[in-house]
Structure 1
Amino acid sequence: MTAGHSAADGLPPLAARTEPLLAGVSTATVASQLLKRGLRDQFITGVAPLEPGCRLVGAAWTMRCIPSREDRDGLWPGSQVVPGLSLFDVVESTPAGAVLVIDARGQSRTATGGDILVERLKARGVKGLVTDGGLRDVAAIGATGLPCYAAGRTANVSRAYLRVADQGVPVGCGDVAVYPGDVLVGDGDGVIVVPRHMADDVAVASAEQEDLEVFLGDKVRAGAPLGGVYPASAETLAEYRRSREGGVR
């Protein structure tokens, strides 16, 4: 499977440069570029990396949950779980190279995965996990090395509050719409969702923005006032372009 391309989304692969460029920029930079394109809030609310230094880029594969119900989810004493789609099924269906995105209805008090399921995702070539629910076995998850973002840490099992309803459909994760094939970018701040059709353009523009900001940061550290530097004036932009043409970084 082509990197960054969900087998089920029917979309062409991303440009070869897109994922490497997005892997080198911050979610804040991506948010700025999305705002310029009319999207003001693509940052997933309340989701944070389980481990410091997390970086994540990949196409979304989605899972949608609904509230659990006692008569269907084995919550009455002696009752049985009514068969249906399970978290295990979704783990086995998530395409290699994708990021599993779970719509857990913001239920951070219940787990939507643990260390063994994360180990299986990693073994299948999945790039990461993003959930607006909780995760359990967090120390063991950290040891897997798979980038994981969640709304909380918990020991509660998922079926106490949630039932898996569907996969590979549009979902809402942390108040953001995520469609299969959208591109997820994660860093130490959290995760942002880039619509698939914008990903290539946003990647290039984000890399260019960060290169400019390195130049502007150097000027501020050297004592330049913010006026005319940040945001950059026409004169500052001209100076930046000359420095790049001359190979000065």
Structure 2
Amino acid sequence: MSGDGNVVRAAALDTASLSDALDRYGIIGQCYRIASRHPSFGMAGRAFTMICGPAATPPGTVGDYIDDVPEGHVVVIDNGGREDATIWGDILTEIAHRRGLAGTVIDGISRDVSLCRELGYPVFSRGHWMRTGKDRVQVERLDCIVTIGGARVAPGDILRGDADGVLVIPQNHEDAVLDAAEEIAGAEKKIRDAVRDGMRLDEARKQLGYHKLQSRS
């Protein structure tokens, strides 16, 4: 886990609370259809971004960047949602895990999911399939703004992923979003506690302002 204070705060929150906080500020940060390769996977870290595209002739590389990703960061790969060839597999998983990266997020697919599950290295993607990206896909640009599941991700933005999916918190909004998410998570805990103590759900929600928690600020 990164020593970055806001990354630590994000890691302590689930994506549901963070999603509601993004909605409060009208930020589209939920990465549509990007899901974990195992329900137990969770991650939080800052984005190391890249855009990939169809391979040239001769083809370029798909993984030589991996040793340059800072520890605790999330590899964020915009492969345009491509699902007929992978962009991530066991070699990259092993190196990323050994180097202490926080996880990988792909608008596209991965393969060799058995190893990421064995190591507990979090991979989030549109799916998985065995067909190699070698000679089909290549890295075009690093350290650039990308699109992941319809959400804009800039280098250094916070990525948070869990069993419900993955989202991005833009750097220039992260304090406000995290404050709101902590407020929302706290209010929902109080509602659950009140119901356990015998209060009606509608009354607990009314007292704790449930229906205004996600209202646009």
AA at the equivalent of 1:155 = M
The answer to whether residue 147 in structure 2 is matched with residue 172 in structure 1 is yes
Contact 1:54/1:188 (8 A) holds in 2: yes
Correspondence 1:8-157 to 2 at 5 A: 14=4, 16=5, 18-39=6-27, 41-68=28-55, 72=57, 81-82=58-59, 84=60, 86-157=61-132
Aligned-partner Cα distance in 1 for 2:42–2:207:
29
Higher relative contact order (CA 8 A, sep 6+): 2
TM-score where L is the length of structure 1: 0.77
Q: CA deviation at 1:179?
A: 0.4
Task: Give secondary structure in 1 for the equivalent of 2:105.
Answer: strand
Contact 1:135/1:150 (8 A) holds in 2: yes
Q: 1:214 to 1:106 in 2, by over 3 A?
A: same
Match of 2:133 in 1: 158
Q: How many residues align?
A: 209
Q: CA deviation at 1:231?
A: 5.0
Match of 2:213 in 1: none
Question: Greater CA radius of gyration, 1 or 2?
Answer: 1
Contact 1:111/1:156 (8 A) holds in 2: yes
Aligned-partner Cα distance in 2 for 1:113–1:48:
15
Cα displacement string for residues 39-95 of structure 1 (whole angstroms, at most 9, x for unaligned residues):
1x31111111112221111000011012335xx1xxxxxxxx34x4x2222212222
5+ residue gaps, structure 1, are: 5-13, 73-80, 235-249
TM-score where L is the length of structure 2: 0.87
The answer to whether residue 177 in structure 2 is matched with residue 202 in structure 1 is yes
Q: CA deviation at 1:107?
A: 1.1
Aligned-partner Cα distance in 2 for 1:31–1:175:
14
Contact 1:110/1:156 (8 A) holds in 2: yes
Aligned-partner Cα distance in 2 for 1:124–1:116:
12
The answer to whether residue 217 in structure 2 is matched with residue 230 in structure 1 is no
Contact 2:19/2:167 (8 A) holds in 1: yes
Match of 1:3 in 2: 2
Match of 2:186 in 1: 211
Q: CA deviation at 1:219?
A: 2.2
Aligned-partner Cα distance in 1 for 2:16–2:135:
36
Contact 2:89/2:111 (8 A) holds in 1: yes
User: In proportion to residue count, which structure has more strand?
Assistant: 2
5+ residue gaps, structure 2, are: 210-217
Task: Give secondary structure in 1 for the equivalent of 2:21.
Answer: helix
Q: 1:167 to 1:181 in 2, by over 3 A?
A: same
Q: CA deviation at 1:229?
A: 2.5
RMSD after superposition: 2.1
